[in-house]
Amino acid sequence: MKKIFLSIVFILTLTSLSLAQYQITGKITETNGEVIPFASIYIKNTSKGVSANVNGMYTINLDKGSYTLIYTAIGFKTTERNIQVNGNLTLNQALPTESYTLNNVVIRPNAEDLAYEIIRQAIKLRKQHLNEVEAFSTDVYTKGLQKLVSAPKKFMGRDIQKTLDLDTNRQGILYLSETQSTFSFKRPNKIHEEMVSSKVSGNNNAFSFNKASDLIVNFYENLMLENTGLSGRSFVSPIADNALFYYRYKLLGSSEENGVTINKIEVIPRRKNDPVFRGIIYITDESWRLLGTNLNLTEDAGINFVDTLNISQQFVKIEDVYMPSSIRFQFNGGILKFKFEGYFIGIYSNYNIKPNFPEKFFTAEILKVTKAVNKKDSLYWMNNRPIPLTEEEKFDYKKKDSVALLKQSKPYLDSLESKNNKFGIGKLFFSGYTINNRYEKKYISFDPLVTSVFYNTVEGLALRYGVTFRKNFEDRKSFSIRPEARYGFSNKIFTANLSSSYYYDPLKRASVSASFGTSIADLNSYGTMSLRSNTINSLVFETNLLKLYKKEFFTLNSTRELADGLQAYANIEYARNQTLQNTSNYSFRDVSDKAFTSNNPFTPSLETPLFPTYASFNISATLVYTIGQTYITRPDGKFYQESKYPRFQLNYRKGFKGILNSAVDYDYLGLEIYQERISAGLLGYFSFVVGAGKFLNNNVVFYPDSKHFRGNNSTIFPPNLRKFRFLDFYQYSTDRHFAEAHIEHNFGGLLINKIPLLRKLKFEEIIGVSYLTQPNKKNYKEFYFGIERFGFGVSYGYAYDGSKKVDQGFRIAYSL
């Protein structure tokens, strides 16, 4: 037995030795000792490689044996190094600057730079290179880091160092995350990614939102970075079909590597403020392929959020083609005295450019994240991350992960809650008072008093107050319940209701909700304006735009995904509706040529009932289908991605006569098609909504059950693509048929970007048109033009009823 045991130990020892990997570490520098950040290190004749970090340090794990390591970095001479691995090694490597020379070139006055002919050849073969790889799979490591490099001492009264956990210089990492994935692609645009591991600094249970597909950038495309939010317009590639119209080129020199001539070309914008890149590209002779990029987008190109974005890309030869070996997005910027910088990097390895994907491999699911991905320990990451951590990053992980564990403990949470849950009149008045129990994931929120008091001519001075209780469960499931009460001091009407919801299946986007009680409701079911806005209009401008009625109700709602991209909604409602009248005419001042109107929008000078008191029992069902819908599956839910194709919404609503004394009797059917941010390339993007509907049966339809529209009678309004800018809130609701359309185009600064004084404001030009036809309002049209920026906009428009102009003026849109 002893011999057998020793034999087993001996065999296991040999096995462990044969499977052992050794760690090769080092630092990559220039010949003068300067660090080369993010250089690539590859094993020759493979696509397995790693990258140096920002400090030039690299780590690669290898089995025992002989290898040739290839060290590459843009602008430096590729260097090969033969090594014998018998144990851990330290291999520092200096890379000489690549010598790009203009040998045998005769420069003649006014002669075209030789770069232009190289670019023409690259443009000629652009489509061929774009489509030469039909499909591939690869392993991808992504890493994202964002940090503050300077900040004010205080912001809005808060100590920034303590609030953001910065060092004494008010610097520090805000976001640090790593992922490993397997990524698959098939032309023209099919992708599938499965996350293998994920790590987020400071949140041990989080799943990184890093996606390999977010780092895809292909300079063989004519237009790039569409619909990224970086700009309202796309950016022109330096080798686009029409690139010569946007760029000038300069050949900086050529060098030879492994028998291939590589041309270093500077790309220069012809016009300062065009949506173009500036920097360096590397193109080979004969095959005219891109071998690398070091390109920048600056504020001159009209980018948002950052001041400068650098895109650095390197390629590796796989069989007879070149595939990206690494890509890095590096950025910096500043806002309100906060200065930040960071990067997102992707490292690609283990390419297969001739994969045999099984049938139905590509589906609407573009990324799958399982529960196990964030369970990898530090030893796993030490052996598998292709970019070693810097000392700053190590400290950030260690500090924030320790704090995260502490913050999950009951003693810490109890201590935190005892401080945060301390009652204060100021809290209750301005921001609301909240009692948190994070350990049990229970929260009770009391509405702020300042937003609970309002005024309208129906109720006079009024108070609406509610309390919300929320309980969160695992995987984003949640339950909430909210009682709410409302009282008008002028009409002396008290209403109260209770609502609750249960989000029970995040993977199916499924929830149920119910509510019952009494309430004061807007006559337009879409809502017209907020209580606060109506209060200001009424008290300051003697204008009461909001019209109200009372309802006693019970509703039951449910929603669930039926198939990928197909969401179903169902609603049952019983209500007893009653008209109301004005009971107050108070305002701060008497405005000349202004007077309060009645609560009946059709008889503004006379208080008359708009409808009799009646009961209504109705059901409605809605299907929303998105063409080409894609999504990310995570343990805590299903996350839809914005589709490139329109959505269709089909709605059916029926009023039943006789059930619970219901007086209504109607059938309504409506269809809507819509899509937002459709790229128009260099011309920006546009959005549209087209809808039509008809009451198939309108035997008994009272005003609250009519088809309403999103009108606007106010100069200042919250923007909504479906919202008319001059249409009365209430006058043109219908119980028959209608058709409406809204189209808006955003030019993304195409024109304003050329005006020096306005360019820095980065306003985007918009034009739009809205259309409505229904029996009582045929061929109503609105046209408008203006500027906008981050939800704020100013426009001037015209409204026509048929061919007659009925209104015009400025509109100010805001979104807070």
3-state secondary structure 368-418: ECCHHHHHCCHHHHHHHCCCCCCHHHHHHHHHHHHHHHHHCCHHHHHHHHH
Q: What is residue 14's predicted lDDT score, i.e. its pLDDT?
A: 39
Q: How confident is the model at residue 136 (pLDDT cuts 50, 70, 90)?
A: very high
Q: What percent of the chain has pLDDT over 90?
A: 69
Rounded distance between C-alpha atoms, residue 796 and residue 337, angstroms: 34
* Cα–Cα nearest to 638, from 502, 761, 415, 476: 476
| C-alpha span between 263 and 14 (Å, rounded) | 51
Least Cα distance to 686 among 741, 747, 737 occurs for 747
pLDDT attached to residue 659: 95
| Beta pairing partners, 115 | none
The answer, yes or no, to whether residue 27 has pLDDT greater than 50, is yes
76-96: per-residue pLDDT in tens? 888 999 999 999 999 999 999
CA–CA dist 456, 528 (Å, integer): 14
In angstroms, the CA 500 to CA 479 distance is 7
Kind of pairing, strands 21-30 and 93-95? parallel
Max CA separation in the chain (angstroms): 110
In the chain, residues under CATH classification 2.60.40.10 are 19-95
Instruction: State the CB neighbour count (10 A cutoff) for residue 736.
Output: 14
Q: Is the pLDDT of residue 6 over 70?
A: no
Report how far residue 467's alpha carbon sits from residue 456's, in angstroms, rounded to the nearest whole number: 23
Rounded to an integer, the average pLDDT of 635-655 is: 93
Residue 107 CA, chain-centre distance (Å), reads 50
d(CA 138, CA 128): 22
Let me know: does 710 contact 806? Beta carbons within 8 Å.
no
| Residue 72 main-chain phi, psi, to 5 deg | -135, 150
Residue 3 scores a pLDDT above 80: no
pLDDT in tens, 488-525: 999 999 999 999 999 999 989 999 999 999 999 999 99
DSSP per-residue codes, 447-481: PPGGGTEEEETTTEEEEEEEEEEEEE-GGG-EEEE
Closest C-alpha among 329, 271, 276 to residue 298:
276
Q: 314-333, pLDDT tens digit by residue?
A: 998 898 899 999 999 999 99
The token pair that represents 111 in the structure block: 């002669």
Q: Give this prediction's pTM.
A: 0.89
- pLDDT, one tens digit per residue, over 446-493 is 999 999 999 999 999 999 999 999 999 988 899 999 999 999 999 999
Rounded to whole angstroms, the Cα distance separating 469 from 271 reads 57
Reported as a pLDDT band with limits 50, 70 and 90, residue 551 is very high
Three-state secondary-structure class, residue 694: strand
Average pLDDT along the chain? 90
**Residue 362: both structure tokens together:** 């590509």
Q: What is residue 163's DSSP assignment?
A: H
- The whole-number pLDDT of residue 16 equals 39
pLDDT for the residue numbered 319: 87
pLDDT of residue 169: 85
Over residues 213-240, the mean pLDDT reads 92
The pLDDT confidence band at residue 7, using thresholds 50, 70 and 90, is: very low
For 19-95, the fitting CATH number among 2.60.40.10, 3.40.50.300, 1.10.10.60, 3.40.50.970 is 2.60.40.10
333-338 mean pLDDT = 86
Tens-place pLDDT, residues 38-74: 999 988 888 788 999 999 999 999 999 999 999 988 8
Task: Tell which residue, 22, 25, 67, 78, has the closest CA to residue 44.
Answer: 67
* pLDDT score recorded for residue 142: 94
For residue 224, list its beta bridge partners.
235
33 φ/ψ sector (left φ>0, alpha ψ -120 to 50, else beta): left
Whether the pLDDT of residue 173 is over 50: the answer is yes
Q: What is the pLDDT of residues 92-130, one digit of tens each?
A: 999 998 878 776 555 556 678 999 999 999 999 999 999
b/e burial code for range 374-406 (CB count within 10 A of at least 16 → b): bebeeeeeeeebbbbbeebbeebbeebbeebee
| H/E run at residue 425 | helix 425-426
With a cut of 50, say whether residue 184 has pLDDT above it. yes
pLDDT at 156 (0 to 100) = 72
pLDDT, average across residues 615-629: 97
DSSP 248-274: EEEEEEEEEETTEEEEEEEEEESSTTS
Given a cut of 90, whether residue 347 has pLDDT beyond it is yes
